[in-house]
Chain A
Amino acid sequence: MTAIAPSYPSTPQASAPALVLDGITKTYRSKAGGVDALRGVTYHFPRGSFTAVMGPSGSGKSTLLQCAAGLDQPSTGAVVLGGVNLRGLGEVALTKLRREEMGFVFQAYNLLPSLTVFDNVALPLRLTGKRPNRNDVLGVLEQVGLGDKAKRRPAELSGGQQQRVAIARALITRPSVFFADEPTGALDSNSSRQVLALLREATDRAGQTVVMVTHDPVAAAYAERVLFLSDGLIAGHLDRGTPGQIAAAMSDLER
């Protein structure tokens, strides 16, 4: 395992990273005093990369994801997404950035139960005030293998299918960065494979960037790089690891 040496690209124009975390810390205040969830994380996520973030529970991986996506404000440090520093953005500007540049996939599928699959996928477009193009929506549904389920409601679908609807909803706005938090946490292995393949495809085909938090070495093996987080710091990384290597690295970390 090698240590991370933050390497700033010499030609920012050509290979500007999709997402930059610059020394972010996060301290939660509680009655018993402060809890340091992140203690200075610096990392550049290159464009078109698929990065998995792993770590024991309490290592700060969810906090990292939430800060990176602008859902939570880091205590210090900067998050720069597509060249835009998130600090100082107002609620509305942040929302607009989120709906144009970010896609979200979470363990709980987070679909609106009252809307059909089609309407769920079209919702981000409607929120931007655009009239959703029917063919675009159906195309994305086709891409995730649910072309025939457009008129169903989420409750009528299996967990794997719901997760794929969530991915379709994230794909529809063609975001530059995908944030995935345990996307396969509630799925069987077959559904997991389909979901991960879709995320892999997003980076390979469309050059989108994926940041995925997971505890599953099989899922992490779909990423080209796994970041290991421990006690709020990046403890190391592993490139193109097999599930076995990743699992071994994890148990090293937990020892």
Chain B
Amino acid sequence: MFQLSRQTVSRHKALYVGSFVALAFGVFMLGLAATATAATIAYRGPLGAVVKVTTLGGQDTPPQRVSIRTGAEDVSGLQTVLSMVGSICGFITIFVIASTFAFAVASRRRELGLLRLIGATPQQIRRMILGEALVVAVVAALTGAFFAHLATPLLLAKASYSELAPVKLEPASPWLPLSIAMAVGLMVALLGAHAAARRAGRIAPIDALREAALEPPRIGPVRVVFGVLFLVGSIALLALIRPSSGEAAMPLAMFTPMLLVIGLTLIAPIVVPVLGRLWAAPLVAWTHVSGRLARSNIVAAPRRSASLAAPILTISAIAGSMVLSLSFAADSEAASLRDTMIAPIVVPGGSAERVAATPGVAVVDAGLPVQFVRISTDYAELESAEGIDPAVATRTRDLTPSKGDLSRLTGNTVAVSKEMAGFERYRVGSKIPVTFLDKTEVKLTVVAIVPDAFGLNPSFLVPADLARKHAPAAQPERLFVLPAAGVDAAELTGRIDGAVSARAWEAAQADGLRKGNEFGLILLLGPAALYSAIAIANTLLMGSLQRRQEFTTSRLLGATPSQLRRMVLWESALVGATALSQGAAITVTVGALVRYAMTAGLSDVPITIPWGVLLGIGGVCLTLAVGSALAPASYILRVVNRETAVHQGQ
């Protein structure tokens, strides 16, 4: 059977070049992420910048000794980004591979039926398809790993001394990370081919005798149930987790669209014909034949259409959801900043004493930034805190605690943000063991739970004296200033060196946040988008190359080349529109739920929809889809033209 697999692969080159390119590129991306992660793990910073602590241990977890890197040479940002890039690429790979194999099986119905007819058992067919997947996957994984190895030094050179890894990174031993990437690639390929193989096993011998290679449109009830479960489950997930910051929304905006995509794909044979008909309505009305033909081709073979649409659906849903959610996150953060801020004047980086000496200044809130390692049951983490004078800070910002009392913030105490308290189940009276960077271990008692205000307060507030004691060199990053009674804020702002109005400062903060988000999105989605572009072109190219027979027949029936070209144009546009409308639905769902969760308790939250980016994503997908269907179709039509000319000449 394996020999047969090898021979059939070489026959269906067009089908398998597609799977090969998709998988090789997927393994390449995974390999790069893995080697770069290995480089960050292998990186050894200066010894002094490490705090060693012992975790508390829980019921099943023994206490552990961990080293927490502090200061500038932190590379965990890069590690986080790499793991997210890796998982997006892994997901897209499994999706693209599954759909290319599904497509390959659907277009080979007759051939597989013939094999069944001359005595292949369903199991033999399944093994053959899996064998084919293995042949392609082994070659693709090796190729991808090889190129990843070549590209690693380039990536590390680019990543070194960047915002995410402010150090010099050297390539580590490539064997382990590349083996992992290859193993993941092989697994993904077999997993992706599994469903296709099962469907192939169900092809009946009689299919060899049927002229039309049309698939039965029915789908099993199990599939529908799972599809609906995935859809409902991911919406429930979004509604329950309720992210309250951009940082928490990012992974959610990345993973829930994946689940929604899986759900929609499972019920694609139901959804695609409906959407296809809907989008085709104007086409049928405007065109003579081509629109009608395109509609029948899409509607009659929903699985084939769904396979073609899969990469577009995947990337548009993930990219759209992330872009929209992060924009909404920035909106709500701007609103929460505005709601929390009381002081009308901000002095970034000013001297507290000098500002306090300025006539007309009533109160200067000079919070001191301080860091400590917070120790939990099974992990420890470097946290940012602010040392405040509660009597002053409660006048310049809204710190009204939901529980506890801020006036008790003296000595070894801490006030915790509502979100952090929710994550860690901290209550008033809880004791949090921490180690300050001067290596002193302290148990902080929680005295209050305060509202979240990202960009204004960190998750932990400690007494200013405590901060000064453990970080004597700390200087305030910004001062919040209240004018004395009767003093005009704008006039006072003019008299303080470097002072800006609170509104201007908030706008600048929100701006910075959006810029940071943009950078993160480009980093996360850039490789995925590139990959998807290849996958989209790949799938449609593959689909068009299969249609020579059909084009020949249509030409002989009297269809002109331009009619056929228009049909292909409308058809690929319909595939694109079907996929993009599903992607848009996912984007809106995820965006709306994230926004709903984040804006709870806030009023007048601005709505910023990044239309340019969203429409750009759609436009690029559509252009790619149409272009990569039309190019091979035109080529085939030229060949067919020559052939039919010869026939007619005889």
Contacts and interface: CB of A to CB of B under 8 A. Distances in A.
Do A and B interact?
yes
Interface of A: 66, 71-72, 91-92, 95-96, 98-100, 104, 106, 110, 112-115, 119, 123-124, 126-128, 169, 173, 181
A71 B121 CA distance: 13
A98 B117 contact: yes
A71 B118 CA distance: 11
B10 to A, nearest CB: 7
Given A71-B205, A72-B206, A98-B205, A115 B117 contact: no
B208 A127 contact: no
Interface string B1-23: 10110011011100000000000
Interface string B202-233: 00111011000000000000000000000000
State which size class the interface on B falls in: 20 to 34
A66 B210 CA distance: 12
A106 B209 contact: yes
B638 to A, nearest CB: 21
A71 B114 contact: no
Contacts of B121: 91-92, 95-96, 127
A119 B122 CA distance: 20
B4 A126 contact: yes
Of all A-B residue pairs in the complex, the 9 with the closest CB atoms, nearest first, are A99-B119, A114-B11, A71-B206, A127-B119, A95-B121, A114-B7, A124-B119, A110-B114, A127-B120
B119 A113 contact: no
B430 interface: no
Contacts of A128: 119
Nearest to B113: A110
A104 B8 CA distance: 22
B123 interface: yes
A45 to B, nearest CB: 20
Contacts of A119: 7
B4 to A, nearest CB: 7
Nearest to B120: A127
10 contacts: A72-B206, A91-B121, A95-B122, A95-B205, A98-B205, A106-B208, A112-B114, A114-B10, A126-B3, A127-B124
Contacts of A72: 206
B114 A95 contact: no
Nearest to B12: A114
Contact of A181 (B7, B11, B205, B209): B209
A92 B209 contact: no
A103 B225 CA distance: 42
A114 B12 CA distance: 8
Nearest to A173: B119
Contacts of A126: 1, 3-4
Interface in B153-206: 204-206
B542 to A, nearest CB: 17
B549 to A, nearest CB: 12
A72 B7 CA distance: 30
Contacts of B4: 115, 123, 126
Contact of A98 (B11, B114, B119, B124): B119
A114 B111 CA distance: 11
Nearest to B118: A124
Given A106-B209, A114-B8, A123 B117 contact: no
Given A114-B8, A119-B7, A127-B124, A104 B118 contact: yes
Nearest to B208: A110
Contacts of A99: 118-119
B122 A91 contact: yes
Contacts of A100: 119
Contacts of B3: 126
B116 interface: yes
Nearest to A100: B119
B7 A66 contact: no
